[in-house]
Structures are given as C-alpha cells and as structure tokens.
Amino acid sequence: MSERSERIMSTADGVVVESSDRVLHIRLDRPDRKNALHVPAITRIVRALEDAAVDDSLRAIVIGSTGVDFCAGADWVATNTSDGPRPRPGSIQRRTPLQAHRVIELLIEVQLPVVCAVRGWAAGLGCQIALAADFTVAAESSRFWEPFLQRGFTPDSGATWLVPRLVGIARAKELLLLGREVSGREAAEWGLIHRAVPDGELDGAVDELVTRVAGAPTVALGLTKRCIQRALESSLALAMEAESNALELSSRTADFKEGLAAFREQRAPLFEGR
C-alpha cells in the first residue's frame, strides 16, 4: 500500500489516526506504557471509529501499534493514580459501556472491514480489540492473554462473548479462568485469530490483506459482516430475512453492476466501494 498520507486526523492522546488511500489507520502510540489504553486514548479510538462508520470515502480500517507490543490492556495505573477525588461507587459500571465496551461494539458493528496487526503482547482490552477485528494477523511470537482473574477481577470488554464464540467453551475457560497465555501461532491454530506469520513478515502480510479487503465491494462486505453477527444471535428464519434485506441493498450498488459486467467479460472486477 502507498505510504502517502492523505489526511492526518489526530496524533494526540496516545493514538495516531490518519487516512491513506481510502484506508483509516489507527495506531496505538504509547510504547513506554506498552500501549496500555488510558481514558483519553480510548475516547479517541471511539471517536475515530464513529467517524469512520459514516465516512463513505473509506474502504477499510487498520489497527496497529508503535513499539514492540500491541497493547497491554486498559491502563489501570493511570486510572487509579489521579490526584483528584476518588470516583463515587458505580463509576466503573457507568463509564465502561461508554469507553472500553464502546470500542468493541464499534469494531463489531462498523460496516467496514477491520484488519488488526499484532506483535508482542495483546492483553486484556488489547486482546479483545484483536478478537473483535474481522481479520487479525499476528507475529508467531506474539502473546495473547486474558489476565483478569490473575489480577483479582472479572473480564470485561466483551471477553466472555468473544472468546467462547471463537474457540468454544472449554478453551474459553482455559483462557479466561486459568489465564493461559497463547502465542500468535497457537491463537491462529485455535481459530482465535485469522492468521499468524513469522515475525519479519507481519507488515507485508497485513498490507497484502488490507489491499484485498479495501478492493472488495464495500457495501456488500459490510452488509455480510452485519448478517454474520446478527445470525449468531438469531434463528435461521431471522438470519435469512436479514440476508434478503442485505441482498436487496447490495444488488442496487454500482459494485454489483461491475461484478456482473466482469463475470460476463471474464475479467477481474474493479470495485469502487459504491
């Protein structure tokens, strides 16, 4: 993919957000804290994803990181060392749905393909971001970890929803109750992530995948992503009803016409995302 940056949207709050060649790049940028996410960083990611969800110029989203680790999770040190007054009871219950949980909801719901690149540690919230992405490519030596019970509290950020759906209940208990760490290679073998590659090949593998999904029929891809998520929570009849509605919409796109023309002319389609 081109290195040319068309629009730098933000470099504040420990997160770099920029668009290049119709792809939104979100890069966690607190390497001194292993890219742990404090409230300003989470807020910036939420805003970037909300903006992307309604930006018709975008074709894909990429989430990456600076430094040797992807993300060490939520930055509890920063959260609990404020000089201000202690938050009143219920603060976590009130704020989490609007912060960490909102990041996961947006990654699942946004009708753009989300590609995540993981090197080093992906723990807690960082692990959930990787699992909520549509395609996570990891270095074989990377480590995925759900450390919640080892720290004396319960999982959050969708862990108990994401993990069992990806790897089944038995392995979910191994990860969430026993706190087992898995390498990138193991995560791919288990079906926890899309793919693991040798460490030196990570950037190239991510670029290749992003090029592919960014060149897909964006509307049809987004609708299919939505149908998959809805089908996990519905009956066959409701899933097929959702498919019918998606088919009605996707068949009205310019990409649908291009796909038919390419089939007739026996050539590769050139989709424009519309």
- State the average pLDDT for the chain: 90
pTM of the model: 0.90
Question: Is 119's pLDDT higher than 90?
Answer: yes
- The CATH 3.90.226.10 domain(s) of the chain lie at 7-214
Q: Name the burial class of residue 70, with classes exposed (0-12), middle (13-18) and buried (19+) by CB atoms within 10 angstroms of its CB.
A: buried
pLDDT at site 4: 41
d(C-alpha 19, C-alpha 51), whole Å = 12
7-214 architecture in CATH?
Alpha-Beta Complex (3.90)
Question: What are 186's two structure tokens?
Answer: 């193991």
Please, are residues 167 and 144 in contact by the beta-carbon 8 Å criterion?
no
pLDDT at site 87: 64
- 32-45: per-residue pLDDT in tens? 999 999 999 999 99
- The CATH 1.10.12 domain(s) of the chain lie at 218-265
pLDDT at site 8: 55
Which of 16-25, 44-53, 88-97, 144-153 is predicted with the least confidence, judged by mean pLDDT? Answer: 88-97
pLDDT at site 150: 86
Question: Is 99's pLDDT higher than 50?
Answer: yes
Question: What are 272's two structure tokens?
Answer: 């424009």
**pLDDT class of 151 with cuts at 50, 70, 90:** confident
Amino acid present at 172: A
- 45-93: per-residue pLDDT in tens? 999 999 999 999 999 999 999 999 999 998 865 555 555 666 665 555 5
Give φ, ψ of 145 to 5 degrees: -150, 135
Strand arrangement of the beta sheet that strand 182-183 belongs to: 121-123, 143-145, 182-183
Instruction: Provide the sign of the torsion angle of the four alpha carbons 147, 153, 157, 161, taken in this order.
Output: positive
CATH number of the 218-265 domain: 1.10.12
d(C-alpha 150, C-alpha 177), whole Å = 9
pLDDT at site 3: 39
